[in-house]
Structure 1
Amino acid sequence: MRISFSACKQAQPLQVNIPGGLNMDQFILGRCRKDKVVIVMGATGTGKSRLSIDLATRFDAEIVNSDKMQVYKGLNIITNKVTEEECRGVPHHLLGIVEPDADFAAVDFVNHASTAVDSITRSGRVPIIAGGSNSYIKALVNDDMEFKSKYECCFLWVDVWMPVLHSFVSERVDKMVDASLIDEAREFFDPEGNYSCGIKRAIGVSELDEFFRNESFLDYDKRASILEDATDKIKANTCKLACHQLQNILRLRNQSEWHINYLNATEAFLKRGLESIEAWERLVARPATRVVDRFLCEDDVNFMSAIALPPPIYQIM
């Protein structure tokens, strides 16, 4: 089902110039009407890309990546970039656009993301910003005054209970290893051990340093042991990242004025096959679709949804 954003737009008022360069069609009931942006947040592995693509296929939308490592070229497996098949024809922006050794800071993201969002809205489509780098989102939405003046945001938080997410992340790393993660990381092995810049910071590169240094000198059993240790480090560091991202989302929710719509995907991760697909649709995709539909059709900037808040156990220590 595709929902047309244009069906929600009101008839355009008469163009009347107003001092300051604005015109009457930018005002409704005495305030400036802003374009609308959907932002999908969540820890690594929770299904942000999946939800953003689900929404983009139901609305006339395009996706802007806000993952710090996925902006770089290369390491498609390690950074878990969406494949062409997974994109389902949805245009993606800021995905694999930066050279691997370049420095790409929050200010660079703000500049690139603002350009992409402007282009999407000018084409009459809805921008969906999705990714786990919450510092990028904060820099764009909270700190960039031009963006704040032009756009109204709807925040969606996809969450999975941490013990369940950690189990899923562990399985995902094993699948990545089977899908040539080792060969991919080998291209970025640094004999000087410098993994502090560019895409080399991605989890899955530095953890394999010892393995790459010694693989040609060791027998099969010893190589296998070092590789197992490296894989365990990748899993542990990915789980740490997920916990850190969760804490950042909670801080943003508590410290900002954002109204963040909560979506609990845990049941979909616990189930398998068709039951998992059904749970995802019922608990995540369908509620998110209702929220976004109301957001796009609603004139009130104080839009609020009926999605439940996260459980009280989520407290920052």
Structure 2
Amino acid sequence: MRISFSACKPPQAAAPPLVNFPAGLINIMDKLILPRQRRKEKVVVVMGATGTGKSRLSIDLATRFGAEIINSDKMQVYRGLDVVTNKVTAAECRGVPHHLLGIADPDDDFTAADFVERASLAAEEITHRGRLPIIAGGSNSFVKALVSDDHYFRSRYECCFLWVDVSLPVLHYFVSKRVDRMVVAGLVDEARELFAGAGGDYSRGIAGPSGADLLERAVDQIKACTRNLVCCQLRNIARLEEHLERRIHRLNATEALLRHGGDADEAWERVVAGPGTAIVGRFLCDEPPTPPMSSSATVILGPTNSTAAVAAATR
């Protein structure tokens, strides 16, 4: 399904004729014409903890609304370490243009101020082409700096916020499994190449008799750090949600993660992509939005239920 972004845009007001009008009539015309001329451009912001599927949702939306994606992940702005930072692949992008992805040198200090400047320029270029900017990534400090702290961006753009969320016990399990897949995909080799220029001796360590044990311990540490990152990201999103007066639409992707194959795709469309498409469609057409989903919409599984859910997911 593809929905035209431009179809919902109001026509531009024609320039007023070059004649003199009474002051009272000019004031009326100002009220009718100027608000339309000053109408803000639309931007969609997709957020969520690592591993929840925010990249997938942003690409789904981009293919349906003729959009381009601006990366807001502070690690993925750097070149290299595609596996370590879990960058989307060319196949996963499905032809959707991505901005601010792998643009910075690894030795650079790419700050929130740098992100605000580059993201604002990218959004301006995208809207100039009549397309929809979608900001997506897990670095909520970048998102806050842009949509909340930057006056220029706030004065120019109106934002629709989508939060892809997953029950925490289930998400912890799946991000740990994702680390295992990253190791198979070459995480160790990629890390070795990064530090090769530092002059260390990499002929020992993991390559030695206890190498397997060292690797297992290192992978366990990566998993623990990733789980801690998830919790930190969720706290930051909660703070941003409070700052935005709960204007964030929360989409619960837990069911989609727990299913397999075609059932997983069906669940994703039903509980994440479909509702997200409907929310963005109303936003672009200036229709009254449905009330944002409350925090209680997320299913938080207890110990017994989470164990059963994870067991079902691994069958």
Q: TM-score range by the shorter chain?
A: 0.7 to 0.9
- Deviation by residue 1:91-118 (Cα, 9 ceiling, x = unmatched): 0000000001110000000000000000
Structure 1 pair 26–153 and aligned structure 2 pair: CA distance change class (3 A): farther
Q: Between Structure 1 and Structure 2, whose CA radius of gyration is higher?
A: 2
Query: Which residue of 224, 242, 253 maps to 2:241?
Result: 253
- Corresponding residue number in structure 1 for 2:4: 4
Q: What residue is the counterpart of 1:215 in the other structure? A: 205
- Residues 192-247 of structure 1 show CA distances to partners (whole Å, capped at 9, x for unaligned) of 79xxxxxxxxxxxxxxx9x958427731xx10000000000000100100110001
Q: Which residue does 1:179 correspond to in 2?
A: 185
- Asked if the contact 2:282/2:289 (under 8 Å) is kept, the reply is no
- Which of 84, 89, 93 is the aligned partner of 2:95? 89
Contact 1:259/1:304 (8 A) holds in 2: no
Q: What is the count of residue pairs matched by the alignment?
A: 289
Aligned residue identity for 1:11:
P
Matched residue SS, 1:62 = strand
Distance 1:279 1:296 in 2: 25
Q: Which segments of 5 or more consecutive residues in structure 2 lack a partner in the other structure?
A: 19-25, 301-315
- CA distance 1:225–1:121, shift in 2 (3 Å): same
User: Identity over aligned residues, as a percent?
Assistant: 59
Is 1:27 equivalent to 2:15 in the alignment?
Answer: no
5+ unaligned residues in a row in structure 1: which ranges? Answer: 194-208
Secondary structure at the aligned position of 1:56 is classed as helix
Q: Could you tell me how far apart the structure 2 residues matched to 1:281 and 1:216 are? A: 43
Give 1:149 deviation, angstroms. 0.5
What SS does the corresponding residue of 1:82 show, helix, strand or coil?
A: coil
Q: What is the letter of the counterpart of residue 230 of structure 2?
A: A
Alignment of 1:133-144 (within 5 A): 133-144=139-150
* Aligned equivalent of 1:150, options 132, 148, 156: 156
- The 5-angstrom pairing of residues 98-247 of structure 1 reads 98-189=104-195, 212=202, 214-215=204-205, 218-219=208-209, 222-247=210-235
TM-score, length basis structure 1: 0.85
- Aligned pair in 2 of structure 1 residues 192, 75: CA closer, same or farther (>3 Å)? closer
Per the alignment, residue 275 of structure 1 pairs with 263
Equivalent of 2:76, from 60, 70, 93?
A: 70
Q: Tell whether 2:48 aligns with 1:42.
A: yes
- Kindly tell me: are residues 236 and 216 of structure 1, through their superposed partners in 2, closer, same or farther at Cα, counting changes over 3 Å? closer
Q: How many angstroms does 1:14 deviate by?
A: 1.6
> Which is helix-richer, 1 or 2?
2
| Deviation per residue, 1:52-98 (Å, 9 max, x gap) | 00000000100000000000000000100000000000000000000
Task: Return structure 1 stretches of 4+ with deviation > 3 angstroms.
Answer: 22-26, 190-193, 211-214, 312-315
Q: Deviations over 1:277-308 (max 9, x none)?
A: 11000000000000000000006xxx532453
Hey, what's the Cα distance between the residues in 2 that align with 1:4 and 1:312? Answer: 30
How much has 1:9 moved relative to structure 2? Answer: 1.9
Post-superposition shift, 1:164? 0.4
Structure 1 counterpart of 2:58, which letter?
Answer: S
Distance 2:47 2:298 in 1: 19
Residues 45, 169 of structure 1: 8 Å contact kept: yes
Distance 2:14 2:146 in 1: 32
Aligned equivalent of 1:288: 276
Equivalent position to 2:250, from 257, 262, 272: 262
Take 1:305 and 1:290, find their aligned partners in 2: how far apart are those partners? 10
What secondary structure does 1:12 align onto? coil
Name 1:53's counterpart in structure 2.
Answer: 59
The structural deviation recorded for 1:38 is: 0.1
Change (3 A) 1:312 1:267: closer
Residues 167 and 299, structure 2, Cα contact 8 Å, conserved in 1: no
Residue by residue over 1:251-275, the C-alpha shift from the partner in whole angstroms, topping out at 9 and shown as x without a partner, is 1111333500010000001111111
- CA 87–23 in structure 1, closer or farther in 2 if over 3 Å, else same: farther
Deviation at 1:11, TM superposition (A): 2.5
The whole-number CA distance in structure 1 between the counterparts of 2:125 and 2:177 is 38
| 1:310 pairs with 2:300 | no
Report the Cα offset of residue 13 of structure 1: 1.4
What is the root-mean-square deviation of aligned Cα atoms in Å? 2.6
